[in-house]
Structure 1
Amino acid sequence: MQYYSKIWLCGLFFIGSLFAQDKASTHKVAKGETIAQIAQKYKVSPYDIYQLNPDAQAGISQNTLLLIPKAGAKVQSKTVTSPTVVSKKVTHEVAPKETLFGIQKKYNVTEATLFKANPFLENDGLQIGQKLVIPNGVVTKATTTTAPKTVTPVFHLVQPQETKFSIAKKYNITIEELEKKNPEVVANLPVGFNLLIKGNRAKEVKEIEDVADKKELTSKSTSSDVQNYTVKPKETLYSLTKTSGLSQEELIVLNPELKNGVQEGMLIKLPAAVKLMTQPEAKKGITQLSKQNAADRKKLVLLLPFNIAKIANDTVNSTTERLKKDKFLNMTLDFYSGALIAVDSAKQLGIDVDVQVFDSQETKMSSQVSSIIKSNDVENAQVVIGPFYQNNVEKTAELLSGTDVAVISPLSKETGKAFPNLYQSIVSADVIKNAVFDFMKSKEGNIIAVVDKKKESARNYFNQFQKEVKIAPLTPTGGVNAEALKGLLQKDKMNYVIIETGSTMMIKATIATLLSVMKTYKVQLVTLETNPTLDTDEISFDNLVKLKLMYPSATRENETDEARIFEQKYRKENKVYPSSFATRGFDLTFDTLMRMAQDKTFQETIESAATEQVENRFEYYKKENGGYTNKGVYILYYDSDMTIKQAN
Structure 2
Amino acid sequence: MKKLITVIVIILGLNLSAQNYIEHKIKEGETIESISKKYLVTPYDIYALNPDAKTKFQTNTVLIIPNSKIKNEPINEESKELIGYKTHKVKRKETLYGLSKKYGVSEDDIKKANRFLYSENLKKGDKIRIPRYKTFVSKVSLKNTVKKYKVQPKEGKWRVAYKFGITVEELEALNPNMKPILQPGDELNVPNIEDNDEKPIEAEYDYYEVLPKEGFYRLKIKTGLTQEELENLNPELKESGLKAGMVLKIPATAEVTSGLTDVETTKLASKIKNYEVKKIALMLPYRLHRIDVDSVEEAKEQIKNNKLLSTILDFHVGVRMALDSAKQLGISTDLKVFDTEYQPSTVSKILSENDFSDYDAVIGPLQEKNFDRVANSLRSDRVPVIAALNKPKEVYANVFQTIPEDKLLQKAMVDFIKADSLKSKVVVIADQSHKAVSEMLKREFPTATQIYSQKSKKTGKDAHFIYPVQLENVFKPGKTIVFLETNNGAFASSVISMLNALVVDKTEIVLVTLDRNKAFEGKDIDNNNLSNLKFHYPSIRKEFDESKSKGFVSAYKEKFGVSPSKYAARGFDVTLDILLRLATDDNLYEASNEVFETEYIENKFRYTKSLYGGYANEAVYIVKYDNLRIIEAN
What is the TM-score with the length of structure 1 in the denominator? 0.49
Return the TM-score normalized by structure 2: 0.50
